[in-house]
Every structure is written in C-alpha cells, then in structure tokens.
Amino acid sequence: DTEVTQTPKHLVMGMTNKKSLKCEQHMGHRAMYWYKQKAKKPPELMFVYSYEKLSINESVPSRFSPECPNSSLLNLHLHALQPEDSALYLCASSQTQGSSYNEQFFGPGTRLTVL
Amino acid sequence: SQELEQSPQSLIVQEGKNLTINCTSSKTLYGLYWYKQKYGEGLIFLMMLQKGGEEKSHEKITAKLDEKKQQSSLHITASQPSHAGIYLCGADQAGTALIFGKGTTLSVSS
C-alpha cells in the first residue's frame, strides 16, 4: 500500500469555525509533512513530524495546530482562519526525516475555502 | 537557502512531439525529485535522481542529473494528452523536507 489518504477532499469554513484535516498512511513511514499550496504556486512546507514529534514548524501562525496521535495519522486543526488561508493542503510521508534521497509520497490534498 | 528554477514556465506541444523541461539549482543537488500534478490534486512521484550523470526512464519519460549536480532535465518522448499537467522538480534540503521549483505547465494538443 503506497497510498496517503486525506479527508475531507473539500472543506468550506467560516472565520469563526473550528475544523480539522486528517491524513493517514500505512506504509510504516516515520516522517509526515503538511504543505500548503496556493493557486499556481509550488507547495510550501508548513510542518514536519518525525517519529511522532514535531521537528519543523516553518513559522506557521498558531491558528494552524498540527497533531500526530500515532505513526500513521497526522491531523491539522484549524481555528479562526482568514480568507487568505484558502489553499490546497497537502500531506506527505517518507520513510524517515533527516536522510537525503528520501522519497515523499503525497496525498490528494484538501481544498480549503475560508469565507 | 536553495532555490530551484524551472524552464519553461509553460509549454504547449502537439501530440507526438518530444519536449524537455529543465530544473536548475542554486546549490549542489543531493537528491532531485520529479513530480507531476494535475490542477488541484496531489503530487504523483515520477523519479528520483541521486548521482551526477544518473539517468532514469519510466515509460516515455526520461530524467537526468548532470555531472555537476546542479541541473536536471525531464524529457518526454512522443507526448500524449495523458502527459498534460504541472511538472515540479523538488530538492531535498539537508534531509529535512522538499523545496520545489515553480513548476512547468504542459499542455498537449491533439
């Protein structure tokens, strides 16, 4: 199974809502990533988890809160977002973090719209 | 910090024609990845190159990493409508996470 799944596929939320994005992989990977991609731009790294611990936070605003409950699951909790946070949110996983030549498998993404 | 520059930014080719996309890095590449993305969807892994001079092929797509390890090319032979999409090159930043070029949008006309 070389699949990374993400739910929901689409999400529309107001600025006062609280919602969560979910990502799951069953490849035994120990590194998981959140990327944000705006239209016609490349993905930009938000967070990296390595062995269920947060290892990189790319100065992401606190209205985005990541969580890694176990080695297969990665969540992104959203609260009080702004319209400019509307984007495609991509999850990825790789065998480990910290070694080069580390292929990342990407999920299909969650299209988030903030009204 | 490392930057990846892709060229061309966009490309329209007639079905059956060959094409090449380039990716140039501001620093030495230690792992170069090629991904394909359909608009609004996830990234599909194509190939990973590690060593200078390395060349890999999959179906009609060939990627090469030059000897100096600062440039990679992606070549598609006899393009088909199924090749249309956005091609992204990515570099492994000190084993942390990937940075990406801005992408090349490929359209194939039949």
Query: Which of A33, A92, A100 is closest, CB to CB, to B31?
Result: A100
Query: Which of A33, A56, A88 is closest, CB to CB, to B40?
Result: A88
- Interface contact B42-A56, CB threshold 8 A: no
Q: What is the pLDDT of residues B76-85, one digit of tens each?
A: 999 999 999 9
The three-class DSSP label of residue A43 is coil
Query: What span, in angstroms and rounded, lies between the C-alpha atoms of A30 and A72?
Result: 8
Nearest-neighbour CA in chain A from B25: distance (Å): 15
Written as six digits, the tokens of A29 are 């990977």
Which residues of B fall within a CB distance of 8 Å from A109? 40-42
Q: What is the pLDDT of residues A96-115, one digit of tens each?
A: 776 555 788 999 999 999 99
The answer to whether the beta carbons of residues B88 and B76 sit under 8 Å apart is no
Query: Which of A6, A45, A88 is closest, CB to CB, to B97?
Result: A45
Written as six digits, the tokens of A104 are 């990342």
Instruction: Find, among B92, B47, B107, B99, the residue nearest to B74 by Cα.
Output: B47
Look-up: residue for tokens 């689409």? Answer: A10
- Interface contact A42-B101, CB threshold 8 A: yes
Give the confidence band of B93 by pLDDT, cuts at 50, 70, 90.
Answer: confident
Any A CB within 8 A of B12 CB: no
Q: What is the pLDDT of residues B2-50, one digit of tens each?
A: 899 999 999 999 999 999 999 999 988 878 999 999 988 899 999 999 8
Written as six digits, the tokens of B20 are 């090449």
Query: What is the CA A45 to chain-centroid distance, rounded?
Result: 9
- Interface contact B42-A109, CB threshold 8 A: yes
Mean pLDDT (whole number) for A58-65: 94
Which residues of A fall within a CB distance of 8 Å from B100? 42-43
- What does the DSSP 8-state code read for residue B79? -
Which residues of B fall within a CB distance of 8 Å from A56? 96-97
Query: What span, in angstroms and rounded, lies between the C-alpha atoms of A115 and A103?
Result: 35
| For residue B98, pLDDT beyond 70 | yes
Mean pLDDT (whole number) for B91-108: 87
